Chains A and B, each alone.
Chain A
Amino acid sequence: MTRLSPRARWLAAGLALALAAALAAEHRLLERAREAHARLAAQRTAVVGVRALAEVVSRAGGQGDEVRRAVERFAAAQGELAPIRVVDFNARSLEASTAPADQGEQAAPRRLVREEKDLYDQAQRLRAAVETNRQEGVSRKDEVEIERTAGGGFRIAAPVEPAGEVTGAVIAERPPPAAPPAAGWGGALLALLAAVGLFAALAWLLGDRPAALAAAAVVLLAAAALGYAAVSLGGLAADRMAMEEAVAGRLASTARLAESVLGDASFDAAAWDADVYRRGLGFVAADGTIDAAAVTADLGRTRTRLWRAAAGVTAAALALLLFVGLGGAGRLAVTVVRHRVAYAYVLPAIVAMVVLVFFPFAYGIALSFTESTLYNESQGLWEKWIGVDNYADILSDVAVVKQAEQGSTYDYENFYWTLGFTVVWTVVNVAFGVTLGLFLALLLNRQGLALRPVYRVLLILPWAVPNYITALVWKGMFHQQFGVVNQIVQMLGLAPVAWFEHPFTSFLAIWATNGWLSFPFMMVISLGALQSIPGDLYEAAEVDGASRWQQFRSITLPSLKPALVPAVIISVIWTFNMFNIPYLTSGGEPAGATEILITGAYKIAFQKYQYGYAAAYATIIFLILLAYGTWQNRVTRATEAVG
């Protein structure tokens, strides 16, 4: 081993580390898959019991002694369902209960007490869910609620529907299922030792040939990680069949129980094994036969998902291997140790950036590829993945001008209308801010101006007031009856204007507001730059007989450029994303005509509740600004080079 070169040693270390990490991750993955299986088996058998009971209770009319007898029979036969409660919300009663607290004085039937409001609400929620799904013709609300309890068990609630109308619920708890026997570490350890050992042997055989060694390490890692995954996924099928058999057994026994309670068998037991929308899963028939094809197909999907995860883990491990094996980790470690103080100082900032900026950013991008809405918020992102549909939807709708039978009309909610409006808004505002700011700065910069500090403070004041306050104040000023603007308009003998009822006047109103806010910044920047222009330049110009305009064009403007150009760049981005003014002042009125992109995205998310679509919208805004920033950068560099 002493003959191993440092490079080979790094590769060996990298291989060991990356493979260990990959195997540990895959082991965890497998364990979780098995746990999920065990949980799902317990959940499905419990759901079968609860739904069977709900059906029996429904046939008994949802209340009465028959209900209590049925609950007793079920509690005796399916001991793990405890406690079982039956609630009728019309009568506000607890119809049956096997909870220890509900005996003697508290025995059912009785009225629900205030502490049991959650039972009542749950039953009502199931009724609303059933009705909503029926009305909308979609399955979006849980008709069977399955909650995890604190200890890892379940609480399952199924609706009671005596005559096609939900009147209550069967609510039962089930303790946590027994954990599956832990998978051993032997296989993983074997894979690790075999791969590292083989690599050592190869290193010894090949000698100092870095490329070959690196390739060997990569191949060994991939083979060991994927091989382990293949072997351990093999056990999945047996687990799955065991689950189906357990469900089939439960289904058959529950059907017999229900039949003996009801005295007939006019029910579809197979439908009890269903998802939260009460749609049958279709793996097990009522007589207990298992639909092997369906199970295999479903197992295939699970397997594909796990394979993908294993492939991802392997890819990450390969990256780690190359990072360590090619010396990157070593160099990084050296740098971190050498500059440890500096890293310690920036660590809080790094953490804050990751948590507050990079994570939300990545999440937003991911969200933009989904159809997330208010209604499916609780599902995982992956289940709602729709690819680039949102982007296609936004960008492909180019019908800004709609042709009606006579004349035409604008579609104010169209992306391109909003984009165009935002561009106009930005250009007009920045141009206005720069012109007015520069003009005022020139005035203030006159030599011998009396009370200059007072003027300066007064002119900076708009900037010092928080901009949402300014926005609300100006909104009030544009109020059509009480607003000061219309009072002045009326003093001039004109009719008052309904500012926010026409796109153009609405634009004027928000432009005035934002103009009021934006000129002080430009003024301060220009004033500072003006004061740094040496006075002798002007003296020399005067001696040469230059006019004031010539002095302004040839001395003042070029001298201001280094200060003004960055200010304009910043100002463009600020104005482009100036949320407060349009949102608070015009509110997008009329009909969204004065919405800018950022307020449009906000409204899609929080008024139309389409989160995925809004995320795509926001990503497009980001891309536009990115393109603008890149272009601006290039242009500025070009001007710098010339200057």
Chain B
Amino acid sequence: MSIKKTLKNLNALATLAVAAALVAPASAAAKTELVLWTSYRGAERTALEKVVQAYNAANADVRVNVLAVPHDAFADKITAAVPRGKGPDLFIYAQDRLGGWIEAGNTIEPLDFFLDDETTGRFLPTTLDAMTYQGTIYGLPLNYKVLTLIYNKAIIQEPPKTSQELVAIAKKHTDVAAGRYGLVYWYSDFYVHSGLMNAFGGGVFDGDRNPTLDRAANVRSMDLLLKWINDDKILPAEPSTALITALFNGGKAAMIFNGPWFLGEISDDVDFGLALLPKIDEAGGAPMKPWATIEGIYVSATSQHKDAAFDFIDYLTAAPQARTLALEGRQTPANRQAYDDPAVKKDPVLAAFSRQFENAVPMPNLPEMSMFWSPATTAMNLIVKGSASPSAALKEAQEKVLRDVQRLRGSGG
């Protein structure tokens, strides 16, 4: 009996020892592990990893692991995984899905509590607006993308400052028979059109979050576009991204409106310059204000290490890191202190986009935004093909959007 008992005790001891052995290495490395999801590739990814490595090296008790997730699947994975506690601690995405995730709940952690004036003061205000939903900041902005005027230096020496100059210069360089155009851009795309729309004070939501696709300013912006197409004849018919690339690289487009993603597509033979989008005389001299897409980093609402996660994004968005991401990752940083850096200041591309960004509006981050694209695209096609007047087409689209929005909001309670 006593032998049995001893054996039993020994057994228990052995079990304890094994358990201790299993626990020991884990507790020795009691690091906070943070998982960061991103869809970055190429230079952006390399630059981000460099910054993360520096952070890991400097912080013995935290380890940030960067996990690449394909862009096509990114948003859906976040939607499915994070509310169930299976997702990352941190993730990087543009502002367009922000509202949907916040309304769904339990996905993105509000950050206001962590933020002080010093932190919020380091960002360009517009980028912070994009991260704000109903008055609460949910992410820290990393970078932005915005349309600007890109011109062929071999054709144009002095880019236009106003819409009248734009039309005059464009007319001079348009020869439809030879396939040459003074101005080429994807004007039938609603996102691209936002530059003109916002110049007239247009927009898609009023201050109370109601859809206002058919407001008078939007109609006026369409009228100006139609004048450029039909009266001034400076734009090619049926523009597509392929056509724009082909014309610009073939030296047959003097000016285009396009974003940073286009720069990689410009052929080496073309000497191009970047300039501000012109002021619109027809809108009382207001500048074109294209929609900007702002990428931010967010803390998951279900993360177990929110404090550590915030400390990391605080580090990631500080000036030195923003500089690395800008110069090595080729991003236009949301941190305004990064522009004080001589290397960033000297970079003509970053400088041009940051100037244009002063005249930019963050694309709305309301969940209702996803209901605009299809009706707005249909309306744009009708308008530029002349099948419907701007006011009729926009009215039709507005009704459609309104129906979807009302279906979403319901009667409520």
Contact = CB atoms under 8 A, between A and B. Distances in A.
B405 to A, nearest CB: 9
Contacts of A375: 103, 408-410, 412
Nearest to A502: B240
Contacts of A592: 374
B411 interface: yes
Contact of B110 (A121, A584, A591): A121
A280 to B, nearest CB: 14
Interface string A463-490: 0000000001000000011000010000
Given A408-B387, A409-B382, A139 B412 contact: yes
Contacts of B409: 136, 138, 140, 373, 375
A373 B243 contact: no
A404 B383 CA distance: 10
A135 B76 contact: no
B388 A606 contact: no
12 contacts: A114-B307, A128-B135, A136-B412, A138-B410, A138-B412, A375-B408, A375-B410, A384-B410, A498-B242, A498-B243, A608-B408, A609-B367
Interface string A380-391: 000010000000
Contacts of A617: none
Contacts of B134: 128, 131-132
Contacts of B110: 121, 124-125
Interface string B243-281: 101100000000000000000010000000000000000
Interface stretch (B13-21, B167-175, B194-202, B389-397): B389-397
Nearest to A386: B410
Interface string B183-225: 0000000000000000000000001111000000000000000
A373 B242 CA distance: 38
A405 B104 contact: no
Contact of A406 (B70, B367, B387, B413): B387
Interface in A72-99: 89, 92
A139 to B, nearest CB: 4
Interface SS majority for chain B: helix
Contacts of A244: none
A392 to B, nearest CB: 13
B4 interface: no
A588 to B, nearest CB: 9
A276 B409 CA distance: 17
A642 to B, nearest CB: 48
A481 B265 CA distance: 8
A591 B377 CA distance: 6
Contacts of A486: 242
A610 B378 contact: no
A374 interface: yes
Contact of B404 (A120, A136, A608): A608
Contact of B408 (A92, A402, A609): A609
B388 A405 contact: yes
B5 interface: no
A374 B104 CA distance: 6
B304 interface: no
Contact of A128 (B136, B242, B374, B382): B136
A121 B136 CA distance: 9
Contacts of A501: 240-242
B28 to A, nearest CB: 27
B377 A590 contact: yes
Given A112-B113, A120-B112, A377-B104, A610 B387 contact: no
Nearest to A277: B413
Contacts of B100: 374, 609
Interface in B86-133: 100, 103-105, 110, 112-114, 133
B408 A374 contact: yes
Contacts of B243: 495, 498
Nearest to A124: B136
Contacts, number: 149
A34 interface: no
Contact of A480 (B209, B242, B389): B242
B65 interface: no
A607 interface: yes
A407 B400 CA distance: 20
Interface in A368-423: 371, 373-377, 384, 402, 404-409, 411-413
A591 B374 contact: yes
Nearest to A389: B407
A165 B388 CA distance: 45
Determine which residue in A138, A374, A408 has the highest number of CB atoms from chain B within 10 A of its CB, and name it. A374
A404 B110 CA distance: 46
A406 B136 contact: no
Interface string A605-626: 0111110010000000000000
A223 to B, nearest CB: 40
A498 B186 CA distance: 12
B135 to A, nearest CB: 6
A373 B265 CA distance: 41
A110 interface: no
B72 A373 contact: no
Among B134, B375, B386, the one with the most A-chain Cβ atoms within 10 Å of its Cβ is B134
Nearest to A602: B76
A137 B388 CA distance: 33
Contacts of B79: 606
B275 to A, nearest CB: 24
A608 B209 CA distance: 16
Contacts of B103: 374-375, 609
Please list the 5 inter-chain residue pairs (A to B) with the smallest Cβ-Cβ separation, ordered nearest first.
Answer: A140-B412, A138-B412, A404-B388, A498-B240, A135-B208
A496 interface: yes
Interface string A120-159: 1100110110011101111110000000000000000000
A312 B307 CA distance: 51
Given A404-B382, A407-B385, 18 more contacts: A127-B135, A128-B133, A128-B134, A131-B134, A135-B207, A135-B209, A137-B208, A138-B409, A375-B103, A409-B378, A412-B378, A495-B242, A498-B240, A498-B241, A591-B373, A609-B100, A609-B408, A610-B407
A138 B404 contact: no
Contacts of B113: 92, 112, 114, 117, 120-121
A132 B136 CA distance: 12
Nearest to B244: A498
A372 to B, nearest CB: 9
A249 B159 CA distance: 77
B327 interface: no
A590 B373 CA distance: 10
B408 A124 contact: no
B371 interface: yes
B381 interface: yes
A497 interface: yes
A138 B408 CA distance: 12
B371 A608 contact: yes
B59 interface: no
